[in-house]
Amino acid sequence: MIHGLSVPVLPGFDLRIDHYDWALSLAQVGLDVFMLDFQGSGLSPRPKMDEPCNANPAQWSILIPNPLSTACDASLWPMYRSQLINSQTDWDELDTVVNYIRGERGVEKVALVSWSQGSFRIGPYAIQHPDKVQSLLFFAPIFNPNGRASKAGTRFESPAGLPVSSPATQFGFPMNLTTKVALEGSWTRELQCDGQREEGIQDLVWSSIMDSDTVGRTWGPVLPDGRAEGVMRVRNPFLWGWNSTTVPLDGTLGGTVPVLIIYGELDTQVSAPPFSAPALYDAIPGPSKLMFKVVCAGHYMVWERQRRALHGISKQWLNDGAVEGFTEGRFFVDTEGVIYPQ
């Protein structure tokens, strides 16, 4: 199980309260479940991210007066001037983990599950290593058909070196920051159905995110009880190689590696141009592909009422390689979990 851009893997997949724990629900039907925090996220090492002046300078105000007393010296910024994270480092990390699991469990192939921007990791990885991947499950996948290409004349090489950056470039700092208010705002904008989100779950989600960030939870606004509200430190990656040109390579996706896509009908992050989850389905060349649009669900379905549909469909897919006997096609899922052809 692979996290997206911002939320670490444990709050996203294993929120241990009242059946919100997707990973546990899979383990309870006999699956061996592993979860990966990439470098710069969650409980994994966060090099160069403990220095608040390495944050996006547009967000320094979030850190004043805690932990910064004043803005950083712009003449010294950024403290670290090169890419910290990119697509190749992520693919390498994922390969290390997949090889570990294959050895640990004595299997040839591993099924991969991702949320949101995790699609940039598992999609290109499967194309490069089809001998190690059993299947892919894209939950709320970020996909731009015209996204950044690989180096011209190559399949997946970086289109740029490791630049010495200036403040004018977007890759000149290791991290961005997300506040509790910002996360809740992006979530609340997608709430359109009665009972879509349980009251108070947003506070439990934030608490879990802070448990995965021992430094970030000490930064940001100070609450009346003297505790910091915390900020989510989000690694700043340089990504490429996930577009309508790379998806069809070798006929792997939907062929050697079956694919399932599932997303919420209210998800603005996968449906606002230039991003499109259906475009990913269309770009996959092979016949072994399924897509489910879940009604009354958004980008944060893992923490909403419709999480049960997500759990149920993923259990069938990972155990049987099919959902209600289907291995191809587009479907709707209603609020009772009933599946209809689209």
Give the mean model confidence (pLDDT) for residues 51-80: 87
Alpha carbon distance 111, 123 (integer Å) = 12
Alpha carbon distance 258, 217 (integer Å) = 39
Alpha carbon distance 141, 242 (integer Å) = 11
Q: Which residue has the higher pLDDT, 250 or 163?
A: 250
- Residue 252, helix vs strand vs coil: coil
Q: Any residues with CB less than 8 A from the CB of 28 and at least 6 apart, and which?
A: none
**Average pLDDT of the chain?**
94
Check: CB of residue 179 under 8 Å from CB of residue 309.
Answer: no
Give the mean model confidence (pLDDT) for residues 112-116: 98
Give the mean model confidence (pLDDT) for residues 88-95: 97
Instruction: Tell me which residue has tokens 């910290």.
Output: 84
At 165, is the pLDDT very low, low, confident or very high (cuts 50, 70, 90)? very low
Ordered structural domains, the chain, with CATH:
9-341 (3.40.50.1820)
Alpha carbon distance 137, 118 (integer Å) = 10
Task: State residue 171's pLDDT score.
Answer: 59
Torsion sign, CA atoms 50, 35, 95, 282: negative
Residue 97 has pLDDT above 90, yes or no: yes
Task: State residue 167's pLDDT score.
Answer: 46
- Residue 29, helix vs strand vs coil: coil
Residue 162 has pLDDT above 60, yes or no: no
Give the mean model confidence (pLDDT) for residues 3-18: 94
Burial of 336 (0-12, 13-18, 19+ CB in 10 A): exposed
Q: Give the whole-number percent of the chain exceeding pLDDT 70.
A: 95
At 268, is the pLDDT very low, low, confident or very high (cuts 50, 70, 90)? very high
pLDDT digits over 306-321, tens only?
999 999 999 999 999 9
Edge-first strand listing for the sheet containing 339-341: 110-115, 133-139, 259-264, 289-294, 329-333, 339-341
Task: State residue 169's pLDDT score.
Answer: 47
Q: Give the whole-number percent of the chain exceeding pLDDT 90.
A: 88
Which structure tokens are listed for 294? Answer: 């879940």
At 279, is the pLDDT very low, low, confident or very high (cuts 50, 70, 90)? very high
Instruction: Tell me which residue has tokens 């089809």.
Output: 130
Residue 244 has pLDDT above 90, yes or no: yes
